[in-house]
Amino acid sequence: MGDGATSVLGTPSSSHTPAAIPTVDLGRWFGGSPSDRVAVAAELGAACESVGFLQLVGHGLPDDVVDGLRAASDAFFALPADDKLALRPPAPGVNRGYAARRSESLAYSLGQARPPDLFEAFNVGIEVPGGDPEFFPDNIWPDLAGFRPAVEAYLAAVRQLGATIEDVIELALDLPDDFFPPRTDRAVNVMRIIRYERAAGEPPPDEGQMRMGAHTDYGIFTILLADPVPGLQIVAPHGGWVDVTPDPGAVVMNIGDALAVWTNDRWRSTLHRVVPPQATGDDPALRRSWAFFHDGNIDTVVSCLPSCLAPGEQPRYAPLTIRDHLAAKVLSARTNDVPEATQTVSDRPT
């Protein structure tokens, strides 16, 4: 990891710079003409190339399903601490169940040592019959009325949205319309239900401590539902941290490492983090988010697409498998170990 990546992991600046990320209306994809679909794909591609983050409106996630997920999540995090701790996974590599505050440090996924992160989360994944138990372990469900049906309803809806986004990406990158299905039909899809809360009387964060440390996402893309409050920051294309506060009703999409490798960095796997509330108390003490990670099949080999390689240009990354990349990244954040994993941000401006 180069010096540039080190510098982006420090404490946030004293002032926040509002930032607008591009907004793409998927409603024109669902109900539009072929030319509308071409326009949507071009807009999404331009956003992925310039920023790596965008908002999606007209995404089709049903309001009642989203509301049910929010209510179920609040009920879970309101459980007594011992009840939640009883739902921790049996080992760090098991990407299921409860993660307590200060149990992870995502900066380690970049090979950087930082204080533990100030979030708690509950992870649930797609269950694949006969799947590798390392990547498809059984979910760990709380004994909480209505929780599992609400989560599974949202997972079904967001997976359908993910399939639509795959179609848009295929058109944007001029790929065959059957490129993704054999690479994602048994995808390691995981959702993290995340809660950041500043408790009354809580001491200030340690030097360099984040609600969630700086990292890139590891797979193909992420669909993020989040409260429309400050906290999320990304590294802008020309350097510097800027705020991303989603509009009400929108979801945020961002590119992961796999698409950065496939496109030879034509599309950006952008560094992002969640910063603590400001000392003034102006920022809300509570922030909630629901991150759906669409990561691909574990045996998928990711290497530079010929269409993303200019004449005379060489691939920037060695081929990787989703299996090896995910294993290195996930374990590093939970074991405070420096990963042997592909890094996609070592030469980015910060």
How many angstroms separate the Cα of 141 from the Cα of each of 98, 133, 135, 221?
Answer: 10, 17, 17, 25
Model confidence pLDDT, tens digit, residues 276-293: 766 555 556 788 999 999
CA 76 distance to own-chain centroid: 21
Please, is 62 exposed, middle or buried when counting C-beta atoms within 10 Å of its C-beta (0-12, 13-18, 19+)?
A: exposed
| Inside any domain, residue 45 | yes
pLDDT at 339 over 60: no
| Inside any domain, residue 346 | no
> CA-to-CA distance for 150 and 142, rounded, in angstroms?
12
DSSP secondary structure string, 114-176? Answer: -PPPS-EEEEEE---TT--TTTSPPP---S-TTHHHHHHHHHHHHHHHHHHHHHHHHHHTT--
| Inside any domain, residue 48 | yes
| Inside any domain, residue 152 | yes
Q: How confident is the model at residue 135 (pLDDT cuts 50, 70, 90)?
A: confident
Question: Which domain covers residue 31, as residue numbers?
Answer: 3-335
- Least confident window among 37-51, 106-120, 171-185: 106-120
pLDDT mean across residues, the chain: 83
Please, is 81 exposed, middle or buried when counting C-beta atoms within 10 Å of its C-beta (0-12, 13-18, 19+)?
A: exposed
CATH of the domain at 64: 2.60.120.330
Q: How confident is the model at residue 48 (pLDDT cuts 50, 70, 90)?
A: very high
| Inside any domain, residue 340 | no
- Least confident window among 61-65, 71-75, 93-97, 144-148: 93-97
| Inside any domain, residue 283 | yes
| Inside any domain, residue 347 | no
To the question of pTM greater than 0.85 for the whole model, the response is yes
> CA-to-CA distance for 144 and 78, rounded, in angstroms?
11
Total of domains in the chain = 1
| Inside any domain, residue 120 | yes
